[in-house]
Structure 1
Amino acid sequence: MPLNNKYSLNQVSHFKTTYQGKFFQISHGFVHEINRNAILKVTNQTPSYIARLKYEHYLLTKLETPGVPKLIGIISDQQNYGLLLEDYGSLTLKDYYKNTIKLCYRDFIDIAIKIVKVISNIHKQRIFHKAIRPESILMYKNTPYIIDFSHATDFAKEKSENATPFNFEELLPCMSPEQTGRMNRDLDYRTDFYSLGATFYQILSGRPMFMAIDTLDWIHCHLALTPISLTTINPEIPPMLNEIVMKLVSKNPEERYQSANGLLYDLALCQRSPLSTFELGKQDFSHELQAPKKLYGRELQVEKLLNA
């Protein structure tokens, strides 16, 4: 999308604001000049926020995959800078299930499979989202669309960066342990699996994975606490669906799913026979070479190093 597709904010009629954060506003509107609906992601003229949106613009021009709204233009005037994207409705995943009286788990798994496929296609293009949460997934005619790439990383261009997101507080409920900056390790695609698990947990249980009171409490929860089993909260949730979600939210990335294919295989098994039991991860093989983060068989030497 060429950069000269520019519009001012007064050329857009606003319909609904779906997200109002400290840094960005996401809303839905109508662009009169091109006669179409659009998602608007707008910030003020603070240079650091504009730079973040321009980087998101760069990533979105690279992404050509179903499930990610395409760029159709930018907002640029004296007061605002923003992105215009294809609009697939204003219903977030959270709102999609908000008024559901009784969740059909086969239908939920069907949506979950579609979301995993979108994330898998994003990862295949060496882009990791790093902000998967119920608010970053839009639903339109039972089809998910992932938005908000302002935290994403292009690992073809940059191999590592500061783990802690710039709008730390807004991502806390679904933030991976390594994103807290307390684990002394780089992020990789498996951080999206943790956040996806936390998202699924919230939809299935109707509440966040942890009940924290402040930022430090959230960090402690993600680093040290085990979530309450979904089947404890709701015994009607299929046990293997609970096991899949719990594997996704393992503290150690090596204990999560290592591939989208492995996750998709297990979700399909669970959808086909929700009450059956099976071994998780039988088809879960990583396509990435991961260096181990732990030392094995050298406990005495490690202790000497730590005490030196």
Structure 2
Amino acid sequence: MILLTGYQITEQIYSGINTAIYRGIWEQENLPVIVKTLKSEYPTLEEITRLRHEYKIRKNLRNIETIVNSYRLETHQNSVALTLEDFGGLALSKLLTTQKIKLKHFLEIAVQLAQSLGEIHQNQIIHKDIKPHNIIIHPETYQVKITDFSISSRLVRENASPSYPNLLEGTLAYISPEQTGRMNRAIDYRSDFYSLGVTFYEMLTGELPFNAIDPLELVHCHIARIAPAPHSLKPEIPEAISAIVMKLLAKTAEDRYQSADGLRFDLETCLAQLQGSGNISDFTAGNADRAGQLLIPQKLYGREAEVAALLSAFERISGVEPPQPPLAKGGLSELSQSTGEPPQPPPC
């Protein structure tokens, strides 16, 4: 337990690598609070700056009821402590370990998450770490709020730098392909939709879309592999809901939902059908979706021949194993003029 002037700390509810989270009472206001602190006795400037950054982000979002709002940033010994509202909720990750979420409750939670993300994005903020640990749910009312804005960005678009998997911002099991920094694509608000898709997948099936242990293999899965559709793992999941999840998990941002409103419309349609008839009919996911922001597509158009030539050359040089001198690595190489014709293989 920590000693924080003006607060009565009652229990520790989370302990991570760098942070610890407590539940307590703000004595001056007689309010239940969540207290987030840094674990190190002498935290680095980067750790303190990140907590201050989170406070500033939350302060700008105080008009949004679907996020966990902040109260104060307190000085605590050699560090700082962030005090947050406590509405009696539990992390979705903890809820998933104790009970199976019914389809109706899943849709009710999903609708609220879509609304919350929409409001966050309208304020020009990318969350960048949507996952069950950062989704707080009241166990009785199923009220939902999003928390942890420590790595959130106020930029409409930003570039991720290639880095070792353990140094990437976000949580590796939930990050979008572009957030890995290995796709030469900028991060925008649609990155949150991919992470939300991973979260939905876990809520519905009880497992992650990719279960690789090696970090580099997991990065490869996010970039190149297609996860099995949820209804193929759990046949009781309606195909319409499965299609929504798979659209969120699209590898390129242009193929995902383009707005939280479009996602929310599809989820509310499913919920209305389930409540009305007990069944959910198939429909085209994203049919009512419209772009939430003006973004220039990052796809390549009209370059099919050139892309095919590059892939063909890659297959040739990677599939040949010529004699190598000691300590030499790699395959053959090719160089071709951009004539539109595929390069020819080198003579044997």
User: Could you say whether these structures have the same fold, taking a TM-score greater than 0.5 normalized by the shorter chain as the test?
Assistant: yes
Q: Is the 8 A contact 2:229 2:242 kept in 1?
A: yes
Q: How does 1:252-291 map to 2 (within 5 A)?
A: 252-273=252-273, 274-291=279-296
Among candidates 8, 16, 21, match of residue 21 of structure 1:
16
1:182 corresponding residue in structure 2:
182
**Does 2:34 align with 1:39?**
yes
Q: How does 1:218-297 map to 2 (within 5 A)?
A: 218-273=218-273, 274-297=279-302
Q: Is the 8 A contact 1:18 1:26 kept in 2?
A: yes
- Structure 1: where are the runs of 5+ without partners? 1-6
Cα deviation digits, residues 29-71 of structure 1 (max 9, x gap): 2223332211112114311011111111111111121111222
For 1:78, the aligned partner's letter is: Q
Higher RCO (Cα < 8 Å, 6 or more apart): 1
Quote the Cα distance in structure 2 between the aligned partners of 1:70 and 1:166. 29
SS in 2 for 1:81: strand
Q: Is the 8 A contact 2:151 2:170 kept in 1?
A: no
Q: Is the 8 A contact 1:88 1:138 kept in 2?
A: no
1:115 corresponding residue in structure 2:
113
SS in 2 for 1:226: coil
Quote the Cα distance in structure 1 between the aligned partners of 2:169 and 2:60. 28
Change in CA separation of 1:17 and 1:201 when aligned onto 2, cut-off 3 Å: farther
Larger mean Cα displacement after TM superposition, 175-184 or 161-170? 161-170
Change in CA separation of 1:130 and 1:169 when aligned onto 2, cut-off 3 Å: closer
Change in CA separation of 1:183 and 1:240 when aligned onto 2, cut-off 3 Å: same
Give the number of the structure whose alpha-carbon radius of gyration is greater. 2
Q: CA deviation at 1:294?
A: 2.3
**Does 2:61 align with 1:66?**
no
Quote the Cα distance in structure 1 between the aligned partners of 2:262 and 2:131. 21
For 1:148, the aligned partner's letter is: D
Change in CA separation of 1:212 and 1:206 when aligned onto 2, cut-off 3 Å: same
Q: How does 1:82-231 map to 2 (within 5 A)?
A: 82-101=81-100, 103-140=101-138, 141-155=141-155, 159-162=157-160, 168=168, 171-231=171-231
Q: CA deviation at 1:87?
A: 0.8
When the two structures are superposed, what TM-score results if normalisation uses the length of structure 1?
0.88
Q: CA deviation at 1:240?
A: 0.8
Change in CA separation of 1:19 and 1:177 when aligned onto 2, cut-off 3 Å: farther
Q: Is the 8 A contact 1:18 1:27 kept in 2?
A: yes
Q: CA deviation at 1:299?
A: 4.1
Quote the Cα distance in structure 2 between the aligned partners of 1:300 and 1:246. 29
Quote the Cα distance in structure 2 between the aligned partners of 1:282 and 1:258. 11
Quote the Cα distance in structure 2 between the aligned partners of 1:112 and 1:254. 21
Q: Is the 8 A contact 2:50 2:150 kept in 1?
A: yes
Change in CA separation of 1:131 and 1:169 when aligned onto 2, cut-off 3 Å: closer
Quote the Cα distance in structure 2 between the aligned partners of 1:252 and 1:115. 21
Q: Is the 8 A contact 1:88 1:139 kept in 2?
A: no
For 1:195, the aligned partner's letter is: S
Q: Is the 8 A contact 1:38 1:84 kept in 2?
A: yes
Count matched residues: 298
Q: CA deviation at 1:301?
A: 6.1
For 2:121, the aligned partner's letter is: H
For 1:277, the aligned partner's letter is: D
Cα deviation digits, residues 178-203 of structure 1 (max 9, x gap): 11110111110000000001011111
Change in CA separation of 1:58 and 1:287 when aligned onto 2, cut-off 3 Å: same
Quote the Cα distance in structure 1 between the aligned partners of 2:79 and 2:127. 24
Quote the Cα distance in structure 2 between the aligned partners of 1:197 and 1:284. 16
